[in-house]
Amino acid sequence: MENVHPIMTASCCSTIANIFEKRAVQTPEQTFLHLPQTECSVSYSKFDRLSAGLDNELLRIAGHPLSCIGTLLPNGIEAALAILTVLRSKATLVPMNPRLTWREIGNILEQSSPELILLSPAHALIESFVEKGWVQHQVSLPETDLVALVQGSTIEQSRPELSGASLLLFTSGTTGKPKGVILSENNLLANAGYVNQAHEITSSDIALCLLPLYHINGLVVTLLAPLLAGIPVVMPERFSIDKFWSLIARYKPTWFSAVPTIFSKILSEPQPEKDLYASLRFARSASASLPEAVLQQFEARFALPLIEAYGISEAACQVCSNPLPPGIHKPGSVGVPYGNEVKVVDSEVWVRGPNVFSGYLDRPQESTDALLDGWFRTGDLGWMDTDGYLYLTGRKKELINRAGEKIAPREIEEVLHELPQIESAGVAGIPSSIYGEEVAAFLVLRPGNSISVEDVSIYCRKKLADFKVPRTILFVEELPKGPSGKVQRRLLTELYLRTMEITS
């Protein structure tokens, strides 16, 4: 039987290294990671030894303490080990998406210049990166003997205290090169504490990690927050709808965090027996707007709270969250602030608090423009009700300007998601010689469903002002999305333009 232990707060743990030290003493045999792909589990004490061993191995390879280390790994023991080892070592972590192209990886390496990269065998770096001096060493973690790491964990090496950013997280880069968001260890731990506070995490909880650890949501919400709370994390390599319910039944997690696309996929499948998911007490949605129709369908089918939250990389993830019952959960709202402050200035959401970043890497003017007296101007549009609940309406740069009428794509997407035939919808502006921009909708149908363009248009006219009704409706197999799961509207516009070229 696993020990019941007190939940740590960010204030009592100044560093990630402190957390490991306390866990290794207080609850050494408590499970930290359940790994379905290998059907094994790793305790906090074993993970601590693995991490210490990897830290020593990296010191041996480089010959000196490293100041910046990149990772290029899918979810699993290797990714969790690499990320937490780098963070506890005081080096700067640069996590990268393994699905990026070499050109995209090169853009990140050129800006961050990590001395060493931890990666999988499938991602051996091309020689030109080394020749350009962007990286000096690469280590393939799955080929590293983890048993040897444990045996080497007691090696003592002196190292100076390193200073600087703990995490350098590059945004998806919807325009131009990606921007490096500089986050400190304090930023990360503060937000992990806010997540645990908002979701009332206790020592009896078990988290299910469905989101990639190279993204701020997966890293903070389902790795650092559970670490701070001292609870187990079930970590499959990736989300699979075919294996989802068997994971729930076997490991009995009490909560999971996902993006709206995952919830749509769950709803497109037959409902399992209630006994399979009896352990769950809530689900969490963030990273992209959650259609109210999806929220209502999920809660009605599974009798579980689906908590919509709002997070951004520049605030180390969570900014607001709806409370759990018996707190008031307002559909359409991303909830209330936990730990940080939020205000709306000229329809733009601003956030301030211990979790807010210090600026963008090597972009002093953009950093100055984004930060004012500690307040980060998010670029998200929204409003707050009298109870302090935040409602998002879109992005400043996403607004469609149709003959002077400013249109928020999200409002139209909410209407489109009400149609039962539609699994997901994206709305973007397309060029118009008459109006400047026109509204276009891109729809993914649920398997086995169909609906005509005319019926979609008729439904929208019942729900929206005429100027908001999409004049162009296209059915697509999938919507282009960034690493965080957000629809890339610029790519939708490009898709339309390519379609027009082909048909003209």
One domain, residues 257 and 157: no
Q: Tens digits of per-residue pLDDT, 44-62?
A: 999 999 999 999 999 999 8
Alpha-helical segments (H) within 90-179: 102-112, 127-131, 146-151
Assess contact for 348 and 396: CB atoms under 8 A: yes
Q: What is the CATH number of the domain that holds 408?
A: 3.30.300.30
One domain, residues 108 and 222: no
One domain, residues 139 and 68: yes
For residues 376-382, give the mean pLDDT: 94
pLDDT band at 162 (very low <50, low <70, confident <90, very high): very low
Domain holding 240, by residue range, is: 186-341
Q: What is the CATH number of the domain that holds 55?
A: 3.40.50.980
One domain, residues 277 and 201: yes
Assess contact for 293 and 463: CB atoms under 8 A: no
Give the Cα separation of 339 and 322 in Å (integer): 13
One domain, residues 217 and 273: yes
Answer whether residue 287 shows pLDDT above 80.
yes
One domain, residues 51 and 93: yes
Supply the mean pLDDT for the chain.
Answer: 88
**CA dihedral sign, ordered 435, 349, 166, 16:** negative
One domain, residues 73 and 213: no
Name the one residue in this structure whose structure tokens are 């990140």. 108
Which of 341, 366, 383 delimits the end of a domain?
341
Structural domain includes residue 362: no
Structural domain includes residue 170: no
Q: What does the pLDDT read at residue 25? A: 86
One domain, residues 286 and 405: no
Structural domain includes residue 453: yes
Where is average pLDDT lowest: 70-84, 113-127, 213-227, 423-437?
113-127
One domain, residues 490 and 428: yes
Structural domain includes residue 131: yes
Structural domain includes residue 379: no
One domain, residues 200 and 149: no
One domain, residues 241 and 278: yes
Strand duo 306-312 + 317-321: pairing: antiparallel
Structural domain includes residue 428: yes
162 burial class (0-12, 13-18, 19+ CB within 10 angstroms)? middle
Q: What is the CATH number of the domain that holds 293?
A: 3.40.50.12780
Report the Cα 395 to chain-centroid distance in Å: 18
Number of domains in the chain: 3
DSSP secondary structure string for all residues of 264-305: HHHHTSPPPPGGGGTT--EEEE-SS---HHHHHHHHHHH---
Answer whether residue 393 shows pLDDT above 80.
yes
Of 164 and 402, the structure prediction assigns the larger pLDDT to 402
One domain, residues 328 and 407: no
Structural domain includes residue 17: no
